[in-house]
Every structure is written in C-alpha cells, then in structure tokens.
C-alpha cells in the first residue's frame, strides 16, 4: 500500500502549492529571477525568525547545517558544552567532536527537557568554553527545550556562543534567535518549513559573525563567510549551484505560513498537539514527555503499555499511514507522529481512529477518546 499519510517527523506531508512550486521550470542561478527568488526567501525567513541578517542556505540536510556550524567555529584546542536530552543532541556533539574540539557533556534523561538551571550551572562550572550547544526540539523524544529561558539564565558576560539545533522547531513553533540571544541557529527544509528535504539553513548573530573575523573555514562549501559575501552582493546569489526547485518550494511554504500569520500558525500546531495527546492518553497510550510544558507541538512520541508498538506501526503502514519508531535506546518502544503541516480536526480523527483500529483497542477502552480530544480541540483559546 502506498503511503497516504506521511506522519514521520521529516519529511512531512506538504501542501499542494509547495509541491507545485517545486515543479516549476528551472531558471539559471546567475540570472535576475534567481536573485529575486533568493531575496524574497530571505525577507520571509527574517520575518519568520523575527531577526535581521542573512540566513545562509546550503544544499544539505539538517546534519549538514549542524556540521557547517561546527566547522566554521570550532577547532582543536577549543572546548564546548553539549547539553543533550536525546539522539539528536548526541549527534550534534559527535559532529562537533570531529573538529578536534573537546566536549563537556551534560546529559538529561530522554523524555525530559533541559532546565535553565542545568544550562546556567554547566556554564558556571565550565568557564572558558567557546560554545554551548543545545537542541530546541528533540525529535527523538518529542520534547521541546525552553531555549529563551535557558539563555536568559546564563549571565551575558559569561555566555559562550549559543548554538541551537532548530532542525525540527523552526517554522512550527516560536524560534526568535535575535530576541532570545541565540548566536548560531541551524535548521532544515523538511520539517517545520514544509519543504522537501535538501536545504540546510544557518542564521548567525552579529556577535557570531564577528567571531568569524580572520578565520579560514576548513570546509569550502560550508564556508559561511563565502556564502554571506555572495548573498549580500548586488545580485544575491549562492556561491555554488543551488537546488533551485527547492528554493521555489521553500518560497511557497514560507508564503503559506506567513499569510496565515505566525501566531495563528504556531497556536494551531499547539492546539493540534494538545488534542492529539488528550486522545492518545484516553486510549491508554503513554506520552513519553510527562511534563505537558515540555511536549513538542511538531511531533508526539508515545508508548503502548503492554502492547507491541512495532506491530501497531506495521498495521498503520498497511492502512497507508507511515509513522516513525523510537531511536537509540528507545528503539522498538515508541511510536512518533509528526504534525508540522496545517492539519485540523478531520486529520486528527484519521490518526486517532486509525490507531484505535491498529492497536486493537475496542475491547480495552475505558474512555471516549474522540470526546477527550474534541474537548481540548474545541476549548476557547
């Protein structure tokens, strides 16, 4: 059976306009039409992030964006603090270690979020670190970290450069790097930005751009200063051949989000996640993140106590619904479903109803799961 509903946390179901935009005839990447396209995307990204300055766009996945951040700033002799609460936090630190820099690891239980105190203590106890790296939305556990509060808890004078992995947050929830004090933010096209996979995006604070003065990036294609120079030229361009079709798709996706209005967009994702959680819990699933505040609005992760999660995922697949399983130490015991797109009550019913069938819950169910979900969905904002 072909996939009818792609619920994996990237790539995600895309609006038809985005798919159509990606199929437009190609243009040359050194022609005025491409400069216009690039400029329009830059303006929209700045609006989405409520931040000034260029957003560097790389032909890469999210991992490439994170690698770009690491290779531009870190080198042998540097130290960084890595706070991880899941598989992607762990990967970010592995990427950084490849530069030869030394990492100080702080680990938070999978399913829990990083608190401002953990981050503030890590900085206080480890002076002289160049970078603190943290994941905004930990996709492997569906937990969101309170980045704004975390940064605010670190005294400005002691702050290392704050690196944030926003691969699965940007586009779906508030992520305002300039306002929050993020120095380097990396993200990717295929989740909250509702675009096919293939673009990595990196934003830098003024402090971060200054920190690159005089440095030579060991990677040519990931050299942020090289990208910035071309982007800020009279006719904005990419130093190398860009995936033009993905730029078209990204432009259409950003228009969709911004036309709706970011507040409305972010709130609708929150509401969907809350209603989904209520329905899942009423059915007897256990959400991995116990703390409601820590639950992501882009992806939900849950366990099936006493049941075989992989068998449920298989049955869902047979119905045309593709979900993600657990990763790392959560392999085999989690189901993860994403909700990055503009979904409403009908889609929520499809997911809950299909799970009801796939998990064979007719005999055991004690609560009316749809009523529980509807009560949350329908409550006044």
Counts of helices then strands in the chain (DSSP H, E) = 14, 15
Q: Which two tokens stand for residue 102?
A: 């030394």
Question: Considering the rule CB under 6 A, would residue 341 count as an interface residue with ligand PMP?
Answer: no
Binding segment for ligand PMP (CB under 6 A), chosen from 29-37, 162-170, 177-185, 235-243, is: 162-170
Question: Considering the rule CB under 6 A, would residue 369 count as an interface residue with ligand PMP?
Answer: no
CA atoms within 13 A on the CB side of 283: 28
Q: Of 264, 295, 294, give the one whose Cα is nearest residue 277.
A: 295
One residue of 35, 40, 63, 267 binding ligand PMP per CB under 6 A? 63
One residue of 22, 53, 54, 62 binding ligand PMP per CB under 6 A? 62
Quick check: 44 and 255 in contact, CB under 8 A? Answer: yes
Give one DSSP letter per residue of 308-330, joined into a string. Answer: -HHHHHHHHHHTTEE-EE--GGG
Question: Considering the rule CB under 6 A, would residue 135 count as an interface residue with ligand PMP?
Answer: yes
Quick check: 232 and 54 in contact, CB under 8 A? Answer: yes
Closest contact distance (angstroms) between CB of 326 and ligand PMP is: 13
In the bound state with ligand PMP, the residue whose beta carbon lies nearer, of 62 and 284, is 62
One residue of 51, 61, 145, 205 binding ligand PMP per CB under 6 A? 61
Question: Considering the rule CB under 6 A, would residue 168 count as an interface residue with ligand PMP?
Answer: yes
CA atoms within 13 A on the CB side of 75: 8
Binding segment for ligand PMP (CB under 6 A), chosen from 46-54, 56-64, 147-155, 332-340, is: 56-64
In the bound state with ligand PMP, the residue whose beta carbon lies nearer, of 22 and 279, is 22
Peptide bond into 50 cis (omega under 30): no
- As a whole number of angstroms, the distance between CA 260 and CA 340 comes to 14
The structure tokens 């830098």 sit at: 204
CA torsion 66→252→49→229, rounded to 10°?
60
One residue of 119, 133, 164, 188 binding ligand PMP per CB under 6 A? 188
Number of residues that bind ligand PMP (CB under 6 A): 11
Question: Considering the rule CB under 6 A, would residue 165 count as an interface residue with ligand PMP?
Answer: yes
In the bound state with ligand PMP, the residue whose beta carbon lies nearer, of 34 and 180, is 180
Contacts of 339 (CB under 8 A, 6+ apart): 7, 269, 272, 273, 276, 297, 298, 299, 300
Contact set for ligand PMP, span 74-113 (CB under 6 A): 88
Question: Considering the rule CB under 6 A, would residue 146 count as an interface residue with ligand PMP?
Answer: no
Quick check: 91 and 62 in contact, CB under 8 A? Answer: no
Position with the least CB separation from ligand PMP:
62
Phi/psi at 161 (5° precision): -65, 130
One residue of 14, 58, 167, 301 binding ligand PMP per CB under 6 A? 167
One residue of 51, 90, 113, 139 binding ligand PMP per CB under 6 A? 139
Site string for ligand PMP, 4-23 (x = CB under 6 A): ------x-------------
Binding segment for ligand PMP (CB under 6 A), chosen from 55-63, 97-105, 242-250, 333-341, is: 55-63
Question: Considering the rule CB under 6 A, would residue 322 count as an interface residue with ligand PMP?
Answer: no
In the bound state with ligand PMP, the residue whose beta carbon lies nearer, of 84 and 205, is 84
Q: Of 142, 252, 242, give the one whose Cα is nearest residue 195.
A: 252
Give the footprint of ligand PMP on this chain (CB under 6 A).
Answer: 10, 61-63, 88, 135, 139, 165, 167-168, 188
């Amino acid at each position: 059976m072909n996939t009818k509903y792609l619920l994996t946390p990237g790539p995600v179901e895309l609006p038809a306009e985005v798919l159509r935009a990606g199929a437009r005839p190609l243009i040359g990447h050194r022609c005025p039409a491409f400069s216009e396209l690039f400029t329009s995307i830059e303006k929209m990204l700045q609006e989405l992030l409520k931040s000034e300055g260029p957003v560097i766009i790389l032909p890469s996945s999210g991992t490439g964006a994170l690698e770009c951040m690491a290779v531009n700033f870190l080198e042998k002799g540097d130290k960084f603090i890595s706070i991880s609460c899941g598989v992607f936090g762990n990967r970010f630190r592995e990427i950084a270690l490849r530069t030869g820099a030394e990492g100080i690891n702080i680990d938070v239980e999978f399913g829990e979020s990083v608190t401002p105190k953990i981050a503030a203590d890590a900085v206080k106890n480890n002076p002289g670190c160049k970078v603190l790296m943290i994941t905004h939305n930990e996709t492997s556990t569906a937990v969101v970290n309170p980045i704004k509060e975390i940064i605010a808890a670190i005294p400005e004078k002691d702050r290392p450069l704050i690196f944030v992995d926003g691969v699965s947050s940007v586009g779906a929830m508030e992520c305002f790097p300039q306002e929050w004090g993020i120095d380097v933010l990396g993200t990717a096209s295929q989740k909250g930005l509702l675009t096919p996979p293939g673009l990595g995006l990196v934003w830098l604070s003024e402090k971060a751009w200054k920190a690159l003065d005089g440095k030579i990036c060991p990677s040519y294609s990931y050299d942020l200063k090289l990208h910035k120079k071309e982007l800020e030229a009279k006719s904005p361009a990419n130093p190398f051949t860009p995936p033009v079709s993905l730029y078209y798709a990204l432009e259409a996706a950003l228009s969709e989000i911004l036309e709706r209005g970011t507040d409305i967009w972010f709130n609708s994702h929150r509401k969907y996640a809350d209603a989904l959680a209520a329905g899942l819990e009423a059915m007897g699933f256990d959400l991995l993140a116990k703390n409601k505040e820590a639950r992501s609005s882009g992806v939900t992760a849950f366990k099936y106590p006493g049941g075989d999660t992989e068998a449920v995922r298989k049955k869902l697949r047979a119905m045309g619904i593709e979900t993600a399983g657990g990763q790392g130490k959560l392999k085999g015991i989690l189901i993860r479903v994403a909700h990055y797109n503009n979904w409403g009550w009908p889609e929520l019913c499809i997911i809950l109803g299909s799970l009801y069938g796939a998990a064979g819950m007719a005999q055991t169910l004690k609560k009316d799961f749809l009523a529980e979900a509807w009560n949350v969905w329908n409550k006044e904002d």
